[in-house]
Amino acid sequence: MNFQLSEEHVMIRKMVRDFATNEVAPTAAERDEEERFDREMFDHMGELGLTGIPWPEEYGGIGSDYLAYCIAVEELSRVDASAGVVLSAHTSLAGWPVYTFGTEEQKQKYLRPMAEGKKIGAYGLTEPASGSDAGAMKTSAREDGDHYVLNGSKVFITNGGIADIYIVFAVTDPESKHKGTTAFIVEKDFEGFSVGKKEKKLGIRSSPTTEIIFDNCRVPKENILGELGQGFKIAMQTLDGGRNGIAAQAVGIAQGALDASVAYAKDREQFGKPIVANQGVSFKLADMATSIEASRLLTYQAAWLETNKLPYSKESAMAKLMAGDTAMKVTVEAVQVFGGYGYTKDYPVERFMRDAKITQIYEGTQEIQRLVISRMVTK
């Protein structure tokens, strides 16, 4: 067993850390305040190869692996969780199903421009009345000659409005329950597709989240992803990897909060000494660091399993469960270390705390992770 990162992973970590420090961090607070996504920043991620980390070069990627991808999401989230989730949804939720289930033509047409960062990807599963119970979706797809006609709407779509390509799940056979769902690749310019309400959120505010609407949206049959009726499984398998990206995001948020807390605790003096000299503070930092390391190990393990084509559904659910709870707990503690200053926008820890909450909710709530894990450990 070897816990050391490879030279390639260390190099990618350094490259993303430099990019995050120099180009993402300086505007993170301002973009959060203005709820503004920065397309130029995403384009630069594309130029650096970050938008296609795990995909082979023949599909426009850099031919690395899922661990490198998780490290990239972690490093971005360490300064800006919004940048982290934009990359995570783009790679795991849109790129992954096309890479795994797409035809050669679909990979060249859709995966390549996503990997190169020329197009942004998104994933549409959740509906107003179908969240945790993903199988209860209502969006329908009716066959019409060489097209399917989609009707319905999807909500809480990460990268909604900025994405060019949407992986959408719709019911093609209402009688067949889970086996009656099909995945489609939908382009933003398809007739009948539109972007609805943009959510105003507590955190990850510079990552857009919108509704997407299908009003007799015509999707050519060649844009079916995988097979007819295979959609629910594609959705679930996609989320297995996606959850690991969110675990990496949570690890990054928590690490950012710890870094800020350590620096502040060493600098801030009260009662004639730095506050870090009090065990009430230093033990907090020790607990924060320990939970982060445990979360990181679970996350890297799940990424390693995926890279090595071993089962990872349970491990990625565990990683997200642990890392999401860690991010929430650590960021609340970080605000406490900063005291009154932590509650203001002069320091980044209040933003980290607001951003952390979503990691306990999206890509399956913590309760759904427990459901997935408990089903697997008791079967």
Query: Among all residues, which ones are annotated catalytic?
Result: 363
Q: What is the DSSP letter of 4?
A: S
- Interface residue with ligand CAA among 114, 120, 134, 204 (CB under 6 A) is 134
- Interface residue with ligand CAA among 232, 338, 347, 352 (CB under 6 A) is 232
Q: Is 176 in the site for ligand CAA (CB under 6 A)?
A: no
Q: How many residues bind ligand CAA, per CB under 6 A?
A: 26
User: Would you call 116 exposed, middle or buried from its count of C-beta atoms within 10 A (0-12, 13-18, 19+)?
Assistant: middle
Nearest to 265 by CA among 230, 289, 246: 289
Closest distance to ligand CAA from the beta carbon of 268 (Å): 36
Closest distance to ligand CAA from the beta carbon of 88 (Å): 7
Closest distance to ligand CAA from the beta carbon of 240 (Å): 5
| Region near ligand CAA per CB under 6 A, out of 16-24, 43-51, 132-140, 275-283 | 132-140
Q: Which amino acid is at 119?
A: K
Compute CA distances 297 → 7, 14, 109, 287, whole Å.
Answer: 18, 19, 36, 16
Q: Is 253 in the site for ligand CAA (CB under 6 A)?
A: no
Closest distance to ligand CAA from the beta carbon of 274 (Å): 39
Residue closer to ligand CAA by CB (options 171, 372) is 372
Q: Is 194 in the site for ligand CAA (CB under 6 A)?
A: no
Q: What is the DSSP letter of 122?
A: E
Q: Is 371 in the site for ligand CAA (CB under 6 A)?
A: yes
Which two three-digit tokens encode residue 18? 């430099």
Residue closer to ligand CAA by CB (options 10, 129) is 129
In angstroms, how far apart are the furthest CA atoms of the chain? 79
- Interface residue with ligand CAA among 55, 66, 148, 156 (CB under 6 A) is 156
Which two three-digit tokens encode residue 300? 């890297």
Radius of gyration of the chain from its Cα atoms, rounded to whole angstroms = 21
Q: Is 193 in the site for ligand CAA (CB under 6 A)?
A: no
Q: Where are the beta strands (DSSP E) in 84-231?
A: 121-124, 140-144, 147-158, 165-171, 181-187, 193-198, 209-220, 224-225
Which two three-digit tokens encode residue 137? 């979706």
Nearest to 240 by CA among 319, 184, 126: 319
**What is the torsional sign of CA 269, 270, 272, 276?**
negative
Residue closest to ligand CAA when measured from CB atoms: 364
Which two three-digit tokens encode residue 29? 């607070």
Strands 165-171 and 147-158: unpaired
Q: Is 236 in the site for ligand CAA (CB under 6 A)?
A: yes
Closest distance to ligand CAA from the beta carbon of 153 (Å): 14
Chain positions contacting ligand CAA, by CB under 6 A: 85, 89, 93, 123, 125-126, 132-135, 156, 158, 178, 232-233, 236-237, 239-240, 313, 362-364, 368, 371-372
